[in-house]
Amino acid sequence: MKLFSAFIAAFLLVCGAYGAPAKDPAKAPVKKTLRKAPRRNAVKTYYQAQFVKGKWNPADWEMVRSWRFDHDAAFLQMPGCIQNRVPDGLTDEELQGKKGNAGYAIMLLKQKFKGNALITCNMEFDYRMAPGIIISYEPEKTSGGKLELREHFEVILYDDGLNLWHHFFEKASPKSKDPRVLRTGVEQKWRKQCYLTEKKFYKPKTKYEVTVKINYTSRGPQIEIAAGGRIIGCYAPQMPKGEYRLGIVGCEGRNRFYDFKVTNR
């Protein structure tokens, strides 16, 4: 009897081990594998400064003359910003007319840049225009040893919109009597590369963050400009293939600049 009971117990044990229903694979726990998102290149800051006294180094910059205007310009340190120097007594209206060149001032970083970049600058104008950002080929030295712009781009903010101007030089006519032509042998010309027109969209004495994105693509260099929620852009095949210079320009009015930053994206 004991032998029979032992046999039955062994039989039931075997049936329990081999006769249990198989587990449903669909209900089996799934081992989760988390895929890491591809890492983007870190943002690199090439230059950054606030135009507050003691928070920027003027020695990082140099004043550059315009081929068109025979005067030495300057930027003045103001509380919390810098402003293009304008002769005393000139009204806002006069700076829109024949006296518009009186406050024309250009300042370039001595540092050179190459490839893609994102430029950010907070700026404002007093009346109607026209602070901006400069993207330039290497300037030339005059016979007097002063730097003078040659081919360059101007990104301009004004009350009615945004402009991207391409300034270039052509060999002048030998018959020209223009003293600038006689001095350099070339003549400056300019063409509007792209623009946004929106009447009175940008307000005077209002700070705007203007960004300029330079992107070298397989189809050619692109420039994208943004300010106050508006964006414009275009191809700019005239952009330097190698190094270029960056800076600011104040013209046709009293313009203020609060900071300047250059990153890789």
123: domain CATH number? 2.60.120.560
Please say if the pLDDT value at position 173 is more than 80: yes
Please say if the pLDDT value at position 64 is more than 70: yes
Angle at 257 between CA 253 and CA 258, to 5 degrees: 150
**Residue 166 located in a structural domain:** yes
Domain that holds residue 105: 53-263
96 or 125, which is more confident: 125
Per-residue pLDDT, averaged over 237-245, amounts to: 97
pLDDT of residue 24: 56
Distance separating alpha carbons of residues 3 and 13, to the nearest angstrom: 16
**Residue 45 located in a structural domain:** no
Give how far Cα 217 sits from Cα of 27, 154, 186, 214, Å. 50, 21, 31, 10
The amino acid at residue 188 is Q
**Residue 32 located in a structural domain:** no
What are the pLDDT digits (tens) for 149-171?
999 999 999 999 999 999 999 99
Classify 110 as helix, strand or coil.
coil
**Residue 1 located in a structural domain:** no
Percentage of the residues of the chain whose pLDDT score is greater than 70: 85
**Is the model's pTM score more than 0.85?**
no
Could you give the maximum distance between any two Cα atoms of the chain, in Å?
134
What are the pLDDT digits (tens) for 185-210?
899 999 999 999 999 999 999 999 99
pLDDT of residue 35: 64
pLDDT of residue 108: 98
**Residue 25 located in a structural domain:** no
**Residue 178 located in a structural domain:** yes
**Residue 3 located in a structural domain:** no
Q: How many domains does the chain have?
A: 1
pLDDT of residue 145: 86
**Residue 173 located in a structural domain:** yes
